[in-house]
Amino acid sequence: MRIRRSSRRLPGFSAVAVLGLLVATRPAAADILIGLSGPMSGDNATFGNQLRSGAEAAIDEVNSRGGVLGEKLALIVEDDACEPRLAVPTANKMIAEKVDFLVGPWCSSVTLPASSIYADNGTVEITLSSNPRITEQGFDGLFRIAGRDDRQGKVLSDFIDRHHAGKRVALIGERSNYAIGLQSQLRNFLKQDGKVTIALDQSIDAGTKDFGALVTSLKSAGVEVVVYIGYPPEAGLIIDQAVDAGVKAEYISANNMSNHRIWDIAGKNAEGLAFTFLPAADLMPTAQDAVARLAAKGKKADGYTLYAYAGVELFAAALARGKSAHTDSVAAELQKGHIPTVLGEVSFDDKGDNLLPSWRVYRWHDGAYAYYPGE
pLDDT digits (tens, 9 = 90+) for 137-146: 999 999 999 9
Would you kindly state where each structural domain of the chain is located, as residue ranges?
13-147+281-346, 150-277
Residue 94 CB partners (closer than 8 Å, separation 6+): 35, 37, 76, 78, 102, 118, 123
Confidence of residue 27 (pLDDT cuts 50, 70, 90): low
Same fold, 13-147+281-346 and 150-277: yes
More confident residue, 23 or 239: 239
Confidence of residue 358 (pLDDT cuts 50, 70, 90): confident
DSSP secondary structure letter of residue 122: T
Whether 305 shows a pLDDT value over 80: the answer reads: yes
Give me the pLDDT at residue 15, please: 32
CATH topology of domain 150-277: Rossmann fold (3.40.50)
| Residues 92-120, mean pLDDT to the nearest whole number | 97
Mean pLDDT of the chain: 92
d(CA 278, CA 287): 15
Global confidence as pTM: 0.88
Cα angle, residue 365 at apex, residues 288 and 152 outer, rounded to 5°: 70
Confidence of residue 152 (pLDDT cuts 50, 70, 90): very high
d(CA 225, CA 249): 5
Cα–Cα nearest to 353, from 112, 122, 149, 135: 135
CATH topology of domain 13-147+281-346: Rossmann fold (3.40.50)
| Residues 252-273, mean pLDDT to the nearest whole number | 96
Give yes or no for a contact between 58 and 313, defined as CB atoms under 8 angstroms apart. Answer: yes
